[in-house]
Structure 1
Amino acid sequence: MKKRERLDLIKKIVNENDIETQNELVQLLEAEGLLATQATISRDINEIGIIKIPTAGGRYIYGLPKEKRHIPQSSPSQPVGKSIKKLGLLEKCLHIDVVPGTSRLLKRLLFENYADLIFSLISDDDSLFLMAQTEAAAQKIHQEVSAWMRER
């Protein structure tokens, strides 16, 4: 199976199922006849831009953002705003707590929109630490990300 076909199959499965873990996704792909490692699926999830979104029952499942690629500075897709749990600002630094599994997409969006304002950006599964070039740059990014949160 070609990569594009694999990515399309992943999107289809994510849209049709409530998937909480990458292992569940790997199992569903195997049921469709596609053998792939968890590492490959993890890279595919990142490339597609799949994020964890909250359900009405309080669980978090994989979902596709409404807009996949470039997102204008003042208008990210709704799932991205929903993934941000807490935002803090201290001088040139921002700390962002997110729904587990969504930090890579947010990191990519921040770099796409603010690369010239960012000195460094470190992320793990559920948080990001951003150091801006200046305090003014940190305040600008903080304002924009705050707006994303309000648009949820």
Structure 2
Amino acid sequence: MNVCKKHQLSTTNKNNDNLISICKQLLQQQSFTVQCDIRNKLIELGFHDISSSTVSRLLFRLGVIKIPNASGKKVYCLPNDDKSIKVNTSIASQIEFITHNQLVVIIKTKPGSARIIAKFIDRNPHQEILGAIAGNDTIMIAPRDINHITECEKAVDLCLGRA
């Protein structure tokens, strides 16, 4: 690889890291309901050649999700990497019901909420819970032992502040 190519790749990586950093700051400081608003703000900040698809890939790479804010509007939100997440009414309000079928515990959530709730469960392990898998509005909890499925469901309720 010639020197010009190495410099170009190095510059591209620095610009990409800068874009990621700026996007994180924007999402922490402001509420955005549509990707177009994020793109427009990035353009204002000097990223003139950013496309809508680039914004979409960036949000995916950051693990951004849409969750309802205090007024019920769905806004883009960075995942919380803090291991000391506390259950609050906003998480509990996203759960529609919890049940089991003797093999797995199922949590039905409002659309778009399953991923963050599953992440919360995985980051707050309980001896009865093997793990969680999330879709858009459904979470499947694998119990450590199917003979203790009721205890697993109770552990999920306890973990989510519903017990």
The answer, yes or no, to whether TM exceeds 0.5 is yes
Match of 1:78 in 2: 89
Match of 1:87 in 2: 98
Q: Which deviates further from its counterpart, 136-145 or 29-38?
A: 136-145
Cα distance in 2, alignment partners of residues 99 and 27 from structure 1: 24
1:51-70 pair list within 5 angstroms: 51-53=66-68, 60-62=73-75, 69-70=82-83
Q: Which amino acid aligns with 2:118?
A: K
Structure 1 unpaired stretches of 5+: none
Structure 2 CA distance for partners of 1:70 and 1:140, relative to 1, 3 Å: farther
Q: Which deviates further from its counterpart, 131-140 or 83-92?
A: 131-140
Match of 1:29 in 2: 38
Structure 2 unpaired stretches of 5+: 1-17
C-alpha RMSD over aligned residues = 3.2
Residues 13 and 28 in structure 1, CA contact (< 8 A), matched pair in contact too: no
TM-score, length basis structure 2: 0.63
- The number of residues matched between the two structures is 135
1:1-152 pair list within 5 angstroms: 1-14=18-31, 17=32, 19=33, 24=34, 26-32=35-41, 33=43, 35=50, 36-46=54-64, 50-53=65-68, 60-62=73-75, 69-71=82-84, 75-114=86-125, 117-135=128-146, 138-147=149-158, 148=160, 150=162
The percentage of aligned residue pairs carrying the same residue is 10
Residues 121 and 156 in structure 2, CA contact (< 8 A), matched pair in contact too: no
Query: Max radius of gyration: which structure?
Result: 2
SS in structure 1 opposite 2:60?
A: helix
TM-score, length basis structure 1: 0.67
SS in structure 2 opposite 1:101?
A: coil
Q: Which amino acid aligns with 1:4?
A: S
SS in structure 2 opposite 1:86?
A: strand
Cα distance in 1, alignment partners of residues 76 and 147 from structure 2: 34
